[in-house]
Amino acid sequence: MTSRPTEALIESLAAEAGPVRPLAAPLARATRLLLALSLLFAGLIATFGDPDALAARFAERELLMAAETAAMLATGVLAVLGAFALAVPGGSRKWLAAAGAAALTWLLLSSTGCFALVADRGADGWKMDGHADCLLFIVTAGAVIGAPLLWLLSRARPIDPAPVALLGGLGAAALSAFLLIFFHPFAVTVPDLGLHLAAVLIVITAAALLRRRALRPA
């Protein structure tokens, strides 16, 4: 048996192959996206945000607000960085733990703020100050952020798309919730927090369901 057919096939494939432009390092690609989102967020907040209302809403709770906002932003950033890292072979799954820890911190701090309102307001602390527009905001913003994010992740053709999609969905949802803070005219009560969490889960679930179409394995 001769190896000529195999060699001919290799020669044929080599002759037809075009130049391939390698992707930049995962963290570099993630950083570029995050910088673009930062500019977008800054423009939206500067144009439509109400800093006076934000300050009044968190009066005497500034430290908690800063910690909660930092945890929310850390969740989004770590999840996006982790999604890009896991989209290529050899990416560490420690990114899942890091983003999960940040998300848990965000949830605990948000819950602390909500139950502090219950202590201050009594039964009124259990009433919903906001409305379903918050859910719509997070879901819509999550889709706007998630669409280009998943497209960029798909270029790496991840072999295991599930964790990539989950982190991508978490990142888009957390960044959307972070943006919502600057446009939410009400203090977040326990029912409001539940509505926000539902919106976050919708975005994550959508990303997970779309992973086979948007993140086809190599």
Structure tokens at 61: 């709770």
Residue 2 resides in a domain: no
Q: State the chain's mean pLDDT as an integer.
A: 83
Q: Which structural domain, as residue segments, surrounds residue 36?
A: 27-214
pLDDT over 90 percentage in the chain: 45
DSSP string over 144-176? HHHHHHHHHHHTT--SSHHHHHHHHHHHHHHHH
Residue 108 resides in a domain: yes
Residue 6 resides in a domain: no
Residue 31 resides in a domain: yes
d(CA 91, CA 193): 33
Residue 36 resides in a domain: yes
DSSP string over 44-112? HHHHH--HHHHHHHTTT-HHHHHHHHHHHHHHHHHHHHHHHHHTSTT--THHHHHHHHHHHHHHHHHHH
User: What does the pLDDT read at residue 1?
Assistant: 46
Residue 131 resides in a domain: yes
* pLDDT at residue 40 is higher than 90: yes
**172-200 pLDDT per residue, tens:** 999 999 999 888 766 667 777 888 889 99
Residues 126-148 have a mean pLDDT of 81
Using pLDDT thresholds of 50, 70 and 90, give the confidence band for residue 125: low
User: What does the pLDDT read at residue 58?
Assistant: 72
Residue 55 resides in a domain: yes
Residue 156 resides in a domain: yes
User: What does the pLDDT read at residue 48?
Assistant: 87
Number of independent structural domains in the chain: 1
* pLDDT at residue 79 is higher than 90: yes
* pLDDT at residue 44 is higher than 80: yes
* pLDDT at residue 216 is higher than 80: no
